[in-house]
Amino acid sequence: MREFQDVVRHCSLNDLGHHGPLYTWCNKRDEGLICKKLDRVLIIEHWGDCFPHSYTVFEAGGCSDHARGRIVLEAAATGGRRPFKFVKALAKLPQFHEVVANHWNGTIPLFPSTSAMHCLSRKLKDLKPSLRSLGKEQFGDLSKRRREAHEVLCHKQAATLESPTQQALEEETNAYSLWHHLAELEEDYLKQKAKLHWLTVGD
pLDDT digits (tens, 9 = 90+) for 79-108: 555 666 777 777 877 788 888 888 888 877
Residues linked to residue 14 through DSSP beta bridges, in sequence order: 43
The alpha-carbon radius of gyration of the chain (Å, integer) is 28
pTM of the model as a whole: 0.42
Confidence class for position 168, pLDDT limits 50, 70, 90: confident
Mean per-residue pLDDT over the chain, rounded: 80
State which H helix or E strand residue 158 sits in: helix 142-162
Burial of 19 by CB count in 10 Å (0-12 exposed, 13-18 middle, 19+ buried)? Answer: buried
Between CA 158 and CA 62 the distance in angstroms is 75
Instruction: Please write the tens of the pLDDT for every residue from 27-72.
Output: 878 788 888 888 888 998 888 778 878 888 888 766 677 888 888 8
Burial of 123 by CB count in 10 Å (0-12 exposed, 13-18 middle, 19+ buried)? Answer: middle
The mean pLDDT of 117-144, rounded to a whole number, is 81
Residue 3 is predicted with a pLDDT of 93
State which H helix or E strand residue 26 sits in: strand 25-26
Edge-to-edge strands of the sheet including 68-72? Answer: 18-19, 55-59, 68-72
Query: How many H-runs (helices) and E-runs (strands) does the chain carry?
Result: 6, 7
- CA 202 vs CA 85, 112, 191, 196: distances in Å: 20, 42, 16, 10
Residue 201 is predicted with a pLDDT of 53
Q: Number of C-alpha atoms within 13 angstroms, CB side, residue 201?
A: 6
